[in-house]
Amino acid sequence: MKTKILKLAAILLLAGVVSCGENNCVCDTDTDTERWVETEAIIVDLGDPSVDGCGWAVLINNVINVPEFIDEQYKQHELKVEIVYKKTSQVHQCVGFSEMKYNKVIIKQIKTI
> Does some domain include residue 30?
yes
Range of the domain at 60: 24-112
In a domain, 15, yes or no: no
35-83 tens-digit pLDDT: 999 999 999 999 988 887 889 999 999 999 999 999 999 999 999 999 9
How confident is residue 106, by pLDDT bands cut at 50, 70 and 90? very high
- Say whether pLDDT at 27 is over 80: no
* pTM of the full structure: 0.69
Q: Are 110 and 83 in contact (CB under 8 A)?
A: yes
In a domain, 18, yes or no: no
Let me know if residue 70 belongs to a domain: yes
Domain count, the chain: 1
pLDDT of res. 25: 53
- Residue (of 27, 8, 19, 105) closest to 63 by Cα position: 105
CATH number at residue 37: 2.40.50
